[in-house]
Chain A
Amino acid sequence: METFLDAATKIQCRSVLDWKKSGKPIVGYTCSYTPPEIFYAAGILPVRMRGIETEGTDIADAYFGSFICSFPKSLLQLAGKKTYSFLDGAVITPGCDSMRRLDECWRTAGKDHEGIVPGFFYYFDVPHKSEAHGFRWFVDELKMLIHAVEKHFGVRITDEGLKNAIRKFNAGRRMLQEIEAMRSQKEVVVSGTEVFAAVIAGAILPRDEYTRHLERWLAELKRRKKSLSKGKIRLMLTGSASDEIHLFQLLEENTGAILVAENLCFGIRSEGNEIEEKGDPVEALAEHYLAQSTCPRMYGRFGERLSYIKDKVKQARVDGVVMQNIRFCDLHAAENALYERHLEPLGVPCLRLEREYGPMVDAGRMKLRLNAFLERIKKADRIIADENESERVDDLPDRKPLEAAR
């Protein structure tokens, strides 16, 4: 757990610095649609870029507009501060429009701040549709990325290498699935904050090292007896990119709540399924990363995303869903409003929160809303319990879920 926490809370964490010392290259990527397997197969360490440890965005504000999400701004800020100077490459993806702008803003910033643009700087396009033509396009994009990596770093990425990478990553995916199943149990032995650290670490640590640590941790979890969920409200967290441990601590520490599920871009959402190990490995990667997508950036897939949340709520016995979005994140803000309209009529309490990315400057404001939300859930439980004792049957009409809005 210590290694996981280190990786989850520090950009220049021990394992990354150790890898750097060995002289092998490191490539950063910005989006869950970039397959790290490709870099693994090339002997390169893929590191998911994060915006933690920022204290302001003064450098980035000079390049981004004021109506842009603070996550890509934080990434550029850190690049400007040379926190990411260990990167030999960066892959930028149009995960959303704000992230797409990181490509041009970073390039432009590189003219003013010397040495902040890594030698390998690649724009990796990802289609917004997963139908046949989008799929073929994505396969082409993957092949172009592979070719560019081979050329720049002077390596060969073979089909065998890719298949091996897929197998190695699948081992971790399977373990994460097991942990996910444990969180759906009545008595949960692992906190959401711990799982958060373990999942983030998976996007940072060298994969073989990660798999070893995960194996050990899973074994430890299986030995755990003490329930962390007894008498607690079970929450699910969804929405914008969330890789700040403070957010998870805010939800779980001294609140009487435990996080038992997420649908976030860092996390089980992209790691929860295995990738096909047979057949053409590039197509297998395309199939996984494009088709099994649950990010609202993808068109025509709202129904699937909604049913993912519904299933999760049922499976993990979720009492309430906290839906957050970073300010100016149109994708998640719109999606959260739609989820709420579908879930509240089913009796699933939802809380929508808008927040700024980074240091929890508005923790007080978020805490107020969270507390009120938890009190709402608690009170509803108490009334239902009372009804079971047939004390307050006359209250039933008002306990009906809220009507579907409009």
Chain B
Amino acid sequence: MSIVAGCDVGSLTSKAVIMKNGKIIGSAIIRSKPRPADSADAVMNDAVFSAGVSRSEIQYAVGTGYGQEKIPFVDERVSEITCHGRGAHWMLPSVRTVIDIGGQDCKAMRIDRDGQVLKFTANDKCAAGTGRFLEVMARVLGLGLDELGEMSEVAKSPITLASTCTVWAQADVIKYLNSGTAVADIGAGINTAMAGRVAILVNAVDPEPDVLMTGGVAKNTGVRSTLEKLLGVKIKKARKADPQMAGAIGAALLADERINSNKRG
């Protein structure tokens, strides 16, 4: 019997997954706190509680995410690119291209049949094309993130944003709001701008089907459907688990792998 954990401390949310013999028995997601160590601690406590085990029963833990260096209790740290590749592969073994959009960055990767990363690219030092962009825009529109995603379905004539810079786009959105443009049209325009930005990255890794989205933004239906149109491929839905958990799941899988290979060797 093996109990392992994966802990993904992101810039906006922190996630943890507890696995027993390769099956998820507990998970948690919380809003990240200012100190990564506190986020890691809190989310792990929630996860072990939901799994009905104690922290001391965990035999191996892998940390990932931007706050990985500061997670005190993990046995190993692995980059989120590797973890998302593994997590996506677990969710859908046929996946070859992963689009992960997190709070502060956006990555596209090609993986092989084992979930091993072959090629990746990531946005550089800018909030355009990240979850933060959507969050800021949703707040301006007074919408929840889920609601923002739905705007693409109901919009009649989506606006075109002149800039994908978060600050300028925000000014643009306020201008549209003031001039009485329908919220749905603005929301749809935001989703389109976001998808356009992401499509550039995805094309840089020569995407191959199946394509899967992970990270929080995968839940935004508007971004996903526009991205499908731009890339000309169907983006699969992960039914096995919440796409936002992919990094933590990948980390837990790597932890499980370490335990088993230790047993073997």
Which A residues lie at the B interface, using CB under 8 A? Answer: 344, 352, 354, 356, 362, 364-365, 368-369, 371-372, 375-376, 379-380, 383, 395, 398-399, 402-403, 405
Contact = CB atoms under 8 A, between A and B. Distances in A.
Contact of B120 (A356, A365, A372): A372
B66 A364 contact: yes
B185 interface: no
A365 B102 CA distance: 14
Contacts of A398: 112-114
Interface in B93-145: 105, 110, 112-114, 116-122, 124-125
Nearest to B119: A402
Contacts of A352: 121
A368 B113 contact: no
A406 to B, nearest CB: 8
Contacts of B202: none
11 contacts: A352-B121, A368-B66, A368-B80, A375-B81, A375-B117, A376-B82, A380-B116, A383-B116, A398-B112, A402-B119, A402-B206
A371 B112 CA distance: 19
B113 A375 contact: no
Given A364-B66, A368-B66, A368-B79, A376 B125 contact: no
Interface string B206-240: 10000000000000000000000000000000000
**Chain B, interface residues (CB within 8 Å), range:** 20 to 34
B206 A405 contact: yes
Contacts of B117: 372, 375-376, 379
B78 interface: yes
B119 A344 contact: yes
A376 B78 contact: no
A379 B82 CA distance: 10
Nearest to A399: B112
A375 B82 contact: yes
Given A375-B78, A405-B206, A362 B118 contact: no
B81 A368 contact: yes
Contacts of A371: 78-79, 81
A375 B119 contact: no
Contact of B81 (A364, A372, A380): A372
